[in-house]
Amino acid sequence: MMGLLGGFLLFLLLASPALGQLPSQDILALLAFKKGITHDPSGYITDSWNDESIDFNGCPASWNGIVCNGASVAGVVLDGHGISGVADLSVFANLTMLVKLSMANNNLSGSLPSKVGSLKSLKFMDISNNQFSGPIPEDIGNLRSLQNLSLAGNNFSGPLPDSIDGLMSLQSLDVSGNSLSGPLPADLKGLKSLVALNLSRNAFTKGIPAGLGLLVNLQSLDLSWNQLDGGVDWKFLIESAVAHVDFSRNLLTSTTPKELKFLADISETVLYLNLSNNKLTGSLIDGVELSTFGRLKVLDLSNNQLSGDLPGFNYVYDLEVLRLANNAFTGFVPSGLLKGDSLVLSELDLSANNLTGHINMITSTTLQILNLSSNALFGDLPLLSGSCTVLDLSNNKFRGNLSVIAKWTSDLEYVDLSQNNLTGTIPDVSSQFLRLNCLNLSHNALSDAIPEAVVQYPKLTVLDLSSNQLHGPIPADLLTSSMLQELYIQDNMLFGGLSFPGSSSKNLSLQVLDISGNHFNGSLPDDISSLSGLRVLDISANNFSGPLPAAVSKLGALTDLDMSTNQFTGPLPEDLPDNLLSFNASYNDLSGVVPENLRKFPESSFHPGNSKLEYPASSSGSGNSPSGSGGGKSLSTGAKIGIVAASIVILVILILIAIVCHYKRISRQFPSSEKVSDKNLHRATKDSASMKGKDNKGGLVSADELVTPRKGSTSEAPSQEEKSAVGGFSPSKGSRYSWSPDSGEAYGQEGLARLDVRSPDRLAGELHFLDETITLTPEELSRAPAEVLGRSSHGTSYRATLENGVFLTVKWLREGVARPKKEFAKEAKKFANIRHPNVVGLRGYYWGPTPHEKLILSDYVAPGSLASFLYDRPGRRGPPLTWAQRLKIAVDVARGLNYLHFDRAMPHGNLKATNILLDGLDLNARVADYCLHRLMTQAGVVEQILDLGVLGYRAPELAASKKPSPSFKSDVYAFGVVLLELLTGRCAGDVVSASEGGVDLIDWVRLRVAEGRGSDCFDSAMASDSENQQAVKGMKEALGIALRCIRPVSERPGIKSVYEDLSSI
């Protein structure tokens, strides 16, 4: 018996090591998790998690990322190893002693298990920056021991569960960067240990929950980037002990305009406060100037709707960062923010407000970042001392020369003085700019040569001197600077050739080179290949000649190349970089065949110009035809006869209209009226579009003289005498079509038509919408009765009546005007978010299968254009406009342009009285036909600008440019002309009789003003207003503004200051 017992004990002794190696529950859980891993680039898990490496006590302490406590797994730490796979977190419920679970910064997916609360021992959980999704389960509230929870940077959705209030031990909660939504939990007072709460970058709605002030340990609160609305809980900010508060990028409002007086009593514990990008209103001053901002170190109230003067900030001793940009503050910049060492302020941003005044000096010893851009500051540039590293004074009214910068601090790293009225030369000094990285002096009136000193700025990486009046050659070593990465010197008067001296021995950094719009000549040198990192090269609108060197093919990083409008000859190199994304070689004298790798670009990249250059994708009938235009379904004989017949009918109608215009100018009487029958708009416009229409709106004869304005009334038709004269009318072969300087664009009902795109081959087109405000099919559009509104260089405009009674303006683009489909679509998308009460909204476009089937859909605005209300001609809509109405229209238009220029960064490009539409009984002005140059070919843009010249709205610099392009300053010029029209009641294209002979409107006004008789220019129809001294004063102020707008481009103000000046009348 004893022998048997001894043998059994010996067996147990020998077997016990083997039994100790049996996988434990913890190991089985880890191996189950490992099965979900699909990619482990470093082998962090796959190489070490195996059942052969287990400690004697059964815990795999030697496994990577595993922390043991005795025989149990206490921690799983897998952060930042690039691990991918589906993570089954439910397996960790078997790790009964798990304290820490951290697998942040990987590529894991999955969801939180519904029984996540079973991890009773868990104190730290971080699965941030992965791809977990699904809801946050209610059971998470059972993790009573949890102290830190981070679910940030995933795709969790749904609400934040109310059970979160049960995490009484929680000190840090971060669920930022998910897709959580709904209101925040109403009760969070159970989170008594909470120190940091981050709910930012989600889609939470409703208001900020009350009771946050009860979280007595809370130090950091971030609710930014949500959709929270309602008022800010000022009581929380006054009474809480929180140090960091970020409520930015929500929809929060001020309950009353005076509510921001809370800043005077803000809790002394609050050091960081960010309320930017909300809808706060009110002023920072409540009757008397504030004396304190608590102990705030950072205050950000930018991008709100705050207004009024700024406080003096004389007794604010702790503030280090102050951001108040993009509000409506007025008055002067408080001198206390810029002077001496009275503050510890290191960053000040007051940009995009309405601040004015002169700044003499900036002497702060602590200020490092100063942004005063986009205000109305004026005078000479200030003296700058101290330790400022970033200075932005752009888009103001500073004038004078740059001599003061020789005395500026040597700490500057970034300087932007663009879009001012600075003149003179660029100082030839370098000692002040030894640390300068970026220098922007563009859009001023600087002259003379680029000084050699700029080459000696040792750290300069970006230099922008564009749109000035600089002349002379480029400094010898500027293009071969080893530090310079971006050089913009376009739109100056620079000349000479390009050279890259010593480039072969240097490591050049240049990535962007724009020298377009100058007078450079000669051939492009072979050593341009030394710019191996060049991405963008624009040499357009110069006088370069000879062949494009094969060396350009060695620029392997090149993505954008514009060599248009030069005198290049010969073939294009065969091996230009394949990674080119943008290419333009039009308006040269190139020959040969377009290389195969460049045929991905549209035909407009090579033509017009280059008559000897063959584009293989073109149809055989024309070397300059867009590719693909020849394809399509052939029409039946009957259809062809129908189109020809319709074309003849429409041509006769157009001739009759032209005769009516001429007859009305002479007779000044209304002709007899008769009904005009329906026509097929598709066929009519196909033929009329081939006649390059002239935009004559605003001529001496109004469109309203030709047609009646209201639906249902009869349209006017030529008398029998006029009809009999048709047979002898023959348009001049050399003109776009026969027109008289006195004729105006028909802008009223010119007869009913139908948008007929119903035949099968015409339904092959695509109808694209830029927003969701309208939905219709091509069939619905084809059935819409349409009335001709007018014609311009782009094509013909119609008012279409949809089946639901909604009106749309449909512009049928003339053939050859629209850019290729892909470029057109890309640019059209940029119109999607243009929404402003003074801008007509674009709603969509139709792209048909044939070249003439291009439609643009926009809002219809009634009762009509400014031209139809303003000019003293038969058929004028309503009585003459009063001065108050004219001033309101001017302010509305300026506001719309200001929106396009500053919010959308787009010049209008086609501003004139007929493109200003008056909306409703209040005649609210809205600008139309804006930015169409973005959708047109270069030839279409040139034609549009030529038309503006004929009509009197074209800025002089556009006439002088070889490659004219609409600009912000040319918009200001056109606006000045419109303002003169409003003041005089005359059309810009009229020839005015004067003692000096026939002169145009602008010269006539200038002559009267020079004679001291500016008031004689005012429209006599405003006689009743002339008895009101305030009105007369306003007219004179408006005249002064108009004259400033038509000054030479270097002296012309920006639209922002024009809008502000008009608003103050």
Q: What is the DSSP annotation of 191-208?
A: -TT--EEE--SSEEES-P
Query: Which amino acid is it at 313?
Result: F
pLDDT at 583: 93
Report the alpha-carbon distance of residue 274 to residue 248 in Å, rounded: 6
pLDDT at 65: 94
pLDDT at 996: 54
Using the structure block, give the residue that is written with the tokens 């001049």.
Answer: 732
Regarding predicted confidence, which is higher, 1046 or 991?
1046
Q: What is the mean pLDDT of residues 672-680?
A: 30
To the nearest whole percent, how much of the chain has pLDDT over 70?
80
Q: Give 969-1006 pLDDT, tens digit per residue.
A: 999 999 999 999 999 999 887 777 655 556 788 888 98
pLDDT at 1037: 92
Contact 697, 914 (CB under 8 A): yes
Q: What is the mean pLDDT of residues 474-485?
A: 89
pLDDT at 763: 40
To the nearest whole percent, how much of the chain has pLDDT over 90?
45
Would you say the pTM of this structure is higher than 0.85? no
Contact 843, 769 (CB under 8 A): yes
Q: How many CB atoms lie within 10 A of CB 662?
A: 19
Confidence of residue 8 (pLDDT cuts 50, 70, 90): very low
Using the structure block, give the residue that is written with the tokens 């007025």.
Answer: 330
Q: Give 350-387 pLDDT, tens digit per residue.
A: 999 999 999 999 988 899 999 999 999 999 999 998 88
Q: How many CB atoms lie within 10 A of CB 995?
A: 7
Model confidence at 701: pLDDT above 70? no
Write the DSSP symbol of residue 297: S
Ramachandran region, residue 97 (left: φ > 0; alpha: ψ -120 to 50; beta: rest): alpha
Report the alpha-carbon distance of residue 556 to residue 554 in Å, rounded: 5
pLDDT at 812: 86
Model confidence at 948: pLDDT above 90? no
What beta strand segments (E) does 585-696 contain? 589-593, 612-614, 679-680
Q: Give 782-840 pLDDT, tens digit per residue.
A: 778 878 887 777 778 888 888 887 888 998 888 878 888 888 888 888 887 788 889 99
Q: 173-182, 281-290, 501-510, 912-921: which range is least confident on average? A: 281-290
Structural domains for the chain: 31-189 (3.80.10.10), 473-623 (3.80.10.10), 641-860 (3.30.200.20), 869-1065 (1.10.510.10)
pLDDT at 653: 60
pLDDT at 56: 58
Q: What is the mean pLDDT of residues 526-543?
A: 92
Model confidence at 205: pLDDT above 60? yes
Model confidence at 568: pLDDT above 90? yes
Contact 224, 250 (CB under 8 A): yes
Residues in the chain: 1065
Confidence of residue 617 (pLDDT cuts 50, 70, 90): low
Report the alpha-carbon distance of residue 229 to residue 251 in Å, rounded: 5
Regarding predicted confidence, which is higher, 741 or 173?
173
Confidence of residue 20 (pLDDT cuts 50, 70, 90): very low
Confidence of residue 496 (pLDDT cuts 50, 70, 90): very high
User: Across all residues in the chain, what is the average pLDDT?
Assistant: 80
pLDDT at 518: 94
pLDDT at 691: 31
Q: 586-595, 637-646, 902-911: which range is least confident on average? A: 637-646
Regarding predicted confidence, which is higher, 507 or 1035?
1035
pLDDT at 637: 41
Q: 292-301, 623-632, 1035-1044: which range is least confident on average? A: 623-632
Residue 1015's closest CA among 986, 979, 984?
984
pLDDT at 560: 92
Contacts of 252 (CB under 8 A, 6+ apart): 208, 228, 229, 230, 231, 232, 275, 278, 279, 280
Report the alpha-carbon distance of residue 967 to residue 969 in Å, rounded: 5
Regarding predicted confidence, which is higher, 140 or 995?
140
Contacts of 77 (CB under 8 A, 6+ apart): 65, 66, 67, 100, 102, 103
Q: 108-112, 400-404, 425-429: which range is least confident on average? A: 425-429
Confidence of residue 758 (pLDDT cuts 50, 70, 90): very low
End-to-end CA distance of the chain, in Å? 120
pLDDT at 641: 46
Report the alpha-carbon distance of residue 580 to residue 600 in Å, rounded: 10
Report the alpha-carbon distance of residue 381 to residue 422 in Å, rounded: 9
Strand order in 107-110's β-sheet?
37-39, 84-86, 107-110, 131-135, 155-158, 179-183, 203-205
pLDDT at 2: 45
pLDDT at 261: 55
Confidence of residue 661 (pLDDT cuts 50, 70, 90): very low
Using the structure block, give the residue that is written with the tokens 């000084």.
Answer: 451
Confidence of residue 399 (pLDDT cuts 50, 70, 90): very high
pLDDT at 571: 95
Confidence of residue 905 (pLDDT cuts 50, 70, 90): confident
